[in-house]
């Protein structure tokens, strides 16, 4: 993990500007530190968390379909429990419960599992939307369960899930500031620390906000593209 | 002990078959058998259980009583020490690969191309090589009159074309038994003839056993060796199509046929 380190640049250079006005020199000076926190923490947790959540969510959705009733019931209950408890609480529980664990790793696990429970619901709806006739056709062709899921059900289920999954990925991204509760130096915390040490919050917080925007907008576009690509071509 | 290839063993045999959905008993002590290469058309009023029979053979419905044999082997249950025991899923799968079905709604996989639809099961179920399966698929597409559609997606085809692909997909598995449930009912009238001609051709050129449900009585008359009339969950009359269609002995059959054939 990246420790929250004191920011040692000179505070406002003596250009006669007041503390409330935007100072370009200062903004340019602090930008690399904030961007670095963004890439090394915020983006990393979002990407790793999304990958875990997307895969685990699919596994949960499939297991809910194929497990024997009692086991599926237990799994559903566990998933509901995780979904219904706040992310912050889950971060803190793991942070204080597993003190030997790297906080960033805790971030991956908690974001991944927490959002997996949401994504599993999305997948479940997607799987339910695959018409019964498709399952019957796979049976009439004696396709194995594995091929049925891989070649028929999952591809068709995914088609309708991509937008929702993408939106959860963006939610996760916007939840990353919660990492501050387990003292991970994610971007907003770094920006805030800079502000606290220099008594100039405007530049630091604005930069953090703009970086958020600059990242989520293209992501939304990307999701849109993917959605179109997944629509049945002809 | 009869073997599956023994010509004397019926390809399909229903023994005291019962099927109920909850309290609704649809089939009651149904007994009939179909010989190898025989083409049988099931007729009967709506709700008499024709679709259910086909779906039972395809194991899409659970059998609630009695036994079904395919090539002399139990499809879902066998009798053992006086009890009805389910067969293993492996045994069932072995028999199921000999059975193909064409659905009223085609049920092609929309996320795959026409070719992928056809070669999926031959490769992954029968273990054919991709080259072998692809060559066979192209010749089947030729046979159903769609030689240039291999790379299209099903939803870009018309209903009649989709149904022809579905027929090719079923035939690619080289089934012993082909189940056809009102395969032209969802089609525009002007393409019904094409699809039926393809099936006539299949009937003429192969020895596949067919179980057919259709409202196309002239097709039934042309291709079937035997017609079975269902009512109230039982076979009330069966015989050669010429006999059943022109001189039915049962009054219910007469009523049904005059209703279906109507002004014809
Ligand atoms: N999945 C199901 N659940 C409950 N009842 C069903 C189900 N499938 C069929 N049935 C009932 O079983 C009976 C026979 O239906 P089936 O579809 O086999 O009739 P059919 O002879 O094919 O009729 P049609 O000519 O209208 O297609 C009907 O009473 C129907 O309501
Ligand atoms: Mg029917």
- Co-location of B35 and B91 in the same domain: yes
- Name the residue among A169, A36, A70 with its Cα closest to residue A114: A169
Q: State the pTM of this model.
A: 0.86
pLDDT average, residue stretch A34-58: 93
Residue after which a domain boundary falls, among B126, B156, B174:
B174
Position B103 in a domain: no
Q: Report the residue of A126, A131, A140 to disrupt the B interface, i.e. the one with the largest count of B CBs within 10 Å.
A: A140
Report percent pLDDT > 70 for chain B.
Answer: 96
Cβ of B23 closer than 6 Å to ligand 1, yes or no, is no
pLDDT average, residue stretch B31-56: 93
Instruction: Report whether B230 contacts B253 (CB < 8 A).
Output: no
Query: Residue A8 has what pLDDT?
Result: 54
Question: What is the domain extent for residue B145?
Answer: 108-174
Chain A to chain B Cβ contacts (< 8 Å) = 64
**Nearest by CB: B109 against A134, A139, A142:** A134
Instruction: Report whether B19 contacts B61 (CB < 8 A).
Output: yes
pLDDT average, residue stretch A123-152: 96
- Co-location of B150 and B225 in the same domain: no
Mutate to test the pocket of ligand 1, among B22, B43, B48 (most ligand atoms within 8 A of CB): B48
Position B1 in a domain: no
The count of domains in chain B is: 2
- Co-location of B218 and B246 in the same domain: yes
pLDDT average, residue stretch A149-163: 91
Cβ of B47 closer than 6 Å to ligand 1, yes or no, is yes
Query: Residue B1 has what pLDDT?
Result: 45
**Nearest by CB: A143 against B105, B120, B155:** B120
Question: What is the chain A residue with the closest CA to B122?
Answer: A141
Q: Do A142 and B121 make contact, defined as CB atoms within 8 angstroms? A: yes
Cβ of B62 closer than 6 Å to ligand 1, yes or no, is no
Residue after which a domain boundary falls, among B129, B156, B174:
B174
Residue-averaged pLDDT of chain A? 87
Question: Whole-angstrom Cα distance, residue B186 to residue B261?
Answer: 19
Cβ of B56 closer than 6 Å to ligand 1, yes or no, is no
Q: Establish if B113 touches chain A: CB-CB under 8 angstroms.
A: no
On chain B, the residues whose CB falls within 8 A of the CB of A130 are none
Position B227 in a domain: yes
pLDDT average, residue stretch B190-213: 93
Res. A215: pLDDT tops 90: no
- Co-location of B65 and B168 in the same domain: no
Res. B42: pLDDT tops 60: yes
Report percent pLDDT > 90 for chain B.
Answer: 76
Burial B28-60 (b: 16+ CB within 10 A, else e): bebebebbbebbbbbbbbeebbbbbbbbbbbbb
- Co-location of B22 and B94 in the same domain: yes
**Tokens 């018409």, residue located:** A131
pLDDT digits (tens, 9 = 90+) for A54-100: 999 999 999 999 999 999 999 999 999 999 999 999 999 999 999 89
Tallying the residues shown for chain B, one arrives at 264
**Nearest by CB: B153 against A139, A152, A233:** A233
Å from CA of B9 to ligand 2 middle: 28
Q: For residue B215, which atom of ligand 1 is closest to its CA?
A: 25
Position B4 in a domain: no
pLDDT digits (tens, 9 = 90+) for B150-185: 999 999 999 999 999 999 999 999 999 999 999 999
- Co-location of B189 and B251 in the same domain: yes
Residue-averaged pLDDT of chain B? 91
- Co-location of B130 and B200 in the same domain: no
On chain B, the residues whose CB falls within 8 A of the CB of A139 are 58-60, 96
- Co-location of B90 and B158 in the same domain: no
Res. B225: pLDDT tops 50: yes
Å from CA of B49 to ligand 2 middle: 7
Q: Establish if B192 touches chain A: CB-CB under 8 angstroms.
A: no
Q: Establish if B85 touches chain A: CB-CB under 8 angstroms.
A: no
pLDDT digits (tens, 9 = 90+) for A98-116: 989 999 999 999 999 999 9
Domains identified in chain A and CATH numbers: 44-233 (1.10.3720.10)
Q: Do B107 and A137 make contact, defined as CB atoms within 8 angstroms? A: yes
Share in percent of chain B as helix, strand, coil (round to 5): 35, 25, 35
Question: What is the chain A residue with the closest CA to B178?
Answer: A140
Cβ of B233 closer than 6 Å to ligand 1, yes or no, is no
Position B2 in a domain: no
- Co-location of B28 and B77 in the same domain: yes
Position B72 in a domain: yes
- DSSP H or E segment with residue B40: strand B39-43
pLDDT digits (tens, 9 = 90+) for A7-22: 555 554 444 445 567 8
Q: What CATH number did the domain enclosing B242 receive?
A: 3.40.50.300
pLDDT average, residue stretch B55-61: 96
- Co-location of B20 and B85 in the same domain: yes
Position B88 in a domain: yes
Our CA-based measurement puts residue A23 at a distance from the nearest CA of chain B, in whole angstroms, of 55
Query: Residue A220 has what pLDDT?
Result: 84
Q: Do A136 and B59 make contact, defined as CB atoms within 8 angstroms? A: no
- Co-location of B136 and B201 in the same domain: no
- Name the residue among B162, B261, B80 with its Cα closest to residue A133: B162
Instruction: Report whether B198 contacts B145 (CB < 8 A).
Output: yes
**Nearest by CB: A137 against B96, B109, B156:** B109
- Co-location of B194 and B86 in the same domain: yes
ipTM exceeding 0.90, yes/no: yes
Query: Residue B262 has what pLDDT?
Result: 67
Q: Establish if B96 touches chain A: CB-CB under 8 angstroms.
A: yes
Cβ of B161 closer than 6 Å to ligand 1, yes or no, is no
Q: Do A134 and B156 make contact, defined as CB atoms within 8 angstroms? A: no
Res. B213: pLDDT tops 60: yes
Position B25 in a domain: yes
pLDDT digits (tens, 9 = 90+) for A173-196: 889 889 988 988 888 888 889 988
pLDDT bracket for residue B263 (50, 70, 90): very low
Residue after which a domain boundary falls, among B174, B194, B214:
B174
């Amino acid at each position: 993990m990246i420790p929250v380190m004191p920011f040692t640049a000179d505070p406002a250079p003596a250009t006669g500007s007041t503390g409330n006005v935007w100072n370009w020199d200062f903004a340019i000076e602090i930008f690399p530190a904030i961007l670095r926190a963004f890439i090394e923490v915020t983006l990393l947790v979002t990407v790793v968390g999304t990958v875990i959540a997307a895969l685990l969510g699919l596994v949960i959705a499939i297991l809910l379909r194929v497990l024997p009733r009692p086991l599926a019931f237990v799994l559903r209950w566990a998933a509901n429990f995780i979904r219904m408890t706040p992310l912050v609480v889950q971060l803190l529980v793991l942070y204080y419960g597993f003190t030997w664990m790297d906080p960033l790793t805790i971030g991956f696990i908690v974001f991944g599992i927490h959002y997996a429970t949401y994504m599993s619901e999305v997948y479940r709806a997607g799987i339910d939307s695959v018409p019964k006739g498709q399952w019957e056709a796979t049976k009439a062709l004696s396709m194995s369960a594995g091929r049925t899921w891989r070649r028929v059900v999952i591809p068709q289920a995914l088609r309708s899930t991509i937008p929702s999954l993408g939106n959860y990925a963006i939610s996760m991204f916007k939840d990353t500031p919660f990492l501050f509760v387990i003292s991970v130096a994610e971007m907003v915390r770094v920006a805030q620390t800079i502000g606290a040490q220099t008594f100039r919050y405007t530049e630091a917080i604005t930069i953090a906000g703009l970086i958020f925007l600059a990242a989520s907008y293209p992501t939304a576009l990307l999701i849109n593209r993917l959605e179109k690509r997944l629509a049945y071509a002809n | 002990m009869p073997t599956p290839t023994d010509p004397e063993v019926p390809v399909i045999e229903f023994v005291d078959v019962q099927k109920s959905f909850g309290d609704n008993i649809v089939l009651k002590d149904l007994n009939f058998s179909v010989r190898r290469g025989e083409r049988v058309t099931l007729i009967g009023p709506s709700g008499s259980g024709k679709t259910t029979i086909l779906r039972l053979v395809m194991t899409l419905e659970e059998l609630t009583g009695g036994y079904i044999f395919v090539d002399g082997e139990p499809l879902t249950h066998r009798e053992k020490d006086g009890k009805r025991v389910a067969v293993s899923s492996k045994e069932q799968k072995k028999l199921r690969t000999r059975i193909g079905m064409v659905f009223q709604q085609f049920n092609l996989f929309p996320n795959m191309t026409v070719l992928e639809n056809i070669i999926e099961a031959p490769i992954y179920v029968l273990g054919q090589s991709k080259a072998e399966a692809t060559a066979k698929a192209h010749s089947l597409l030729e046979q159903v009159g769609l030689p240039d559609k291999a790379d299209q997606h099903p939803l870009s085809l018309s209903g009649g074309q989709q149904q022809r692909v579905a027929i090719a997909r079923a035939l690619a598995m080289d089934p012993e038994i082909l189940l056809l449930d009102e395969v032209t009912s969802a089609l525009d009238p002007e393409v019904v003839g094409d699809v039926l001609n393809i099936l006539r051709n299949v009937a003429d050129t192969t020895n596949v056993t067919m179980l057919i449900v259709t409202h196309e009585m002239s097709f039934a008359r042309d291709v079937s060796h035997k017609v079975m009339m269902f009512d109230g969950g039982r076979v009330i009359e069966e015989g050669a199509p010429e006999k059943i269609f022109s001189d039915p002995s049962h009054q219910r059959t007469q009523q049904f046929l005059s209703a279906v054939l109507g002004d014809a």
